[in-house]
A and B are shown apart, each in its own frame.
Chain A
Amino acid sequence: MENLTFQQISAEILKKSLKSVELTQHIFGRIDKLESKIGAFISLFRERALAKAVDIDRRLAEGAPVGPLAGIPVAIKDNMCTGFGATTCASRILGKFSSPYNAHVVDQLEDADAVIIGKTNMDEFAMGSSCENSALQTTVNPWDINRVPGGSSGGSAAAVAAGLCYAALGSDTGGSIRLPASFCGVVGLKPTYGRVSRYGLVAYGSSLDQIGPISRDVYGAAALLNVIAGHDRRDSTSVDESTAPVKDYVKNLDHPVENLKIGVAQEFFDVEGLDPEVEKAVREALQTYEDMGVALIEVSLPYMKYAIAAYYLIATAEASSNLARYDGVHYGHRTSRPKDYIDVYSSSRAEGFGDEVKRRIMLGTYALSAGYYDAYYLKALKVRNLIRRDFEQAFEKVDCLMCPTAPETAFKLGEKTDDPLKMYLSDIYTIAVNLAGVPGISIPCGLSSGNLPIGLQIITPAFSEAKLLRIARMFEKETEHHLSKPFC
């Protein structure tokens, strides 16, 4: 069953040739067999999922209406609030936090009749590029269990790659959907900032965070985006219909974009540490498009190389403010014997946060503190504007940009944990996209000699997800990279 595509499985359920209950049981069977090796899930909702599947089968049998994701087993990154089960953010500080409400995207998935099977592991508070900053468990890459799945949405990407669900939600602040998608050989889409409501997403870097889908193929990503995109009055940064109407992302998905112009920048290949095998696979992907008659046009993004420095100032500054809410008073972990009320804060936070979260809070606090604000934080915001202009200027000439998603394939567990800066550099290709607020997708474009997936990143202007998905789909139709599967 795991060899069927998203589109096929959906059709089987609607035709009633496959029962939602059978599919759900099959998925939990795979989880029983593989999850002890992969470690993708923080929580599983077996009974709840089966009850939902029974309800879907009943409605289908009665001819009653069902939603567009009827019976599709999906997983949710554990930084999205669910009114059922726990929401941990893979942090000790949230303890057994039980959200009183669903995130907007969770409501949307429920209404669309997706079957939510569990919540996935991640770097604590979405801070990391390898999933190793989870305080709760280790997730490994299904292609090589000695390697990381990428982060921060590593559990979601690993679960999709291992066939433990058909699609998943991730969140992406600097690459946290696209990087793990690249490392795990699946499709990961970060929509435009403002396209999907973040209501109920635990905040990290509020001017950058965006929720998006991870799936086996581009169709699955489009089908999920159809359900989660749109305005929500509970998130004032979600864009309304009059500013940017939501499209039907599935409808014209198989129509190739005519007169497509792809922008390629030399800067993409000048990145230090770019693995020659990654470069080769990406150049081959560009060749595949050229063979379809697409024009490749040279563009330049001279400020892209400053993106990591600007990002880690802006994101950490925002994080230091967002994470001030973990105070040991309202919810989550509280130190057992505080000396005084200040110590409730300082000790609860010291005990509850992991090293990377502390490091980023400290970095952000420093960047915002008296005497350093202009030199660091304000400077970073100005550089952010220069980076956005880079993209705007490129998009005057081309429809999209293409580059690697990551400079390398999945690295070994523990390889970068002692050197935070080295870890940050994994995000070199993805981070500028968040700073510019535009959409980006990672799709599989080959395997290395060590049998590890390589990702191609495609970037388009704000609110052009429909076109972005069609461009990605063109590649998928020409190639079979998305059909490659890991050991399981």
Chain B
Amino acid sequence: MSEKLTEDQIRHVAKLARLNCTDQEIATFTTQLAAILDYFDQLRELDTTDVEPLAHCLPIHNIFRPDQILPSLSNEQALANAPRRDGEFFSVPKILDDSNA
């Protein structure tokens, strides 16, 4: 945990998060995240060996409902905010290379 955060690690994280970052942003984020992670290191003081992780505080668990078709958004409503559409579809650049087709 206390190892020094590097710009390459931050570049990798940016790639995982699908965020294009400039070199300047990578440098800034590396410095800032290193300081924040240093602060987080205080959690290491705590012995949590026998402590269960707590994901949420609700007195409920899985909520099931009958598998019934209920009214939902129409195609037109669902597509209304699409930045690019093609008829009834969301439009994206080609995903497969011709060689994979």
Contacts and interface: CB of A to CB of B under 8 A. Distances in A.
Interface in B3-39: 9-10, 13-14, 16-21, 25, 29, 32-33, 35-37, 39
B20 A350 contact: yes
Contacts, number: 158
B101 interface: no
Nearest to A375: B1
Interface residues of A, number: 70
A331 B29 contact: no
A383 interface: yes
A98 interface: yes
Contact of A333 (B37, B51, B83): B83
Given A243-B59, A436-B57, A312 B19 contact: no
A300 to B, nearest CB: 16
A98 B35 contact: no
A344 B20 CA distance: 10
Given A340-B93, A381-B53, A420-B36, A330 B81 contact: yes
B48 A379 contact: yes
B80 A306 contact: no
Interface size class of B (residues with CB under 8 A): 35 or more
Contact of A100 (B36, B44, B77): B77
A382 B54 contact: yes
A358 B54 contact: no
Contacts of B19: 346, 349-350, 353, 358, 361-362
A313 B57 contact: no
B35 to A, nearest CB: 6
Interface string B44-82: 101010011111111110010100000001000110111
Contact of B43 (A233, A239, A366, A380): A380
A362 B13 contact: yes
Contact of B33 (A239, A362, A380): A362
Interface stretch (A140-148, A156-164, A384-392): A384-392
Interface in A411-445: 420-421, 424, 436-438
Contacts of A381: 53-55
Interface in A341-385: 341-347, 349-350, 353, 358-359, 361-363, 365-366, 369, 375-376, 378-385
A193 B56 contact: yes
Contact of A239 (B9, B59, B65, B81): B59
Quick one: which of A303, A324, A363, A366 has the most chain B CB within 10 A?
A366
Interface of B: 1, 9-10, 13-14, 16-21, 25, 29, 32-33, 35-37, 39-40, 42-44, 46, 48, 51-60, 63, 65, 73, 77-78, 80-84, 90, 92-95
Given A233-B65, A366-B13, 4 more contacts: A100-B77, A194-B60, A362-B17, A383-B46
13 contacts: A207-B56, A207-B57, A244-B59, A306-B46, A309-B43, A330-B81, A349-B17, A359-B33, A362-B19, A383-B46, A420-B32, A421-B36, A437-B57
Interface of A: 95, 97-98, 100-101, 193-194, 207, 233, 236-237, 239, 243-244, 303, 306, 308-310, 312-313, 320, 324, 327-334, 338, 340-347, 349-350, 353, 358-359, 361-363, 365-366, 369, 375-376, 378-386, 388, 420-421, 424, 436-438, 462
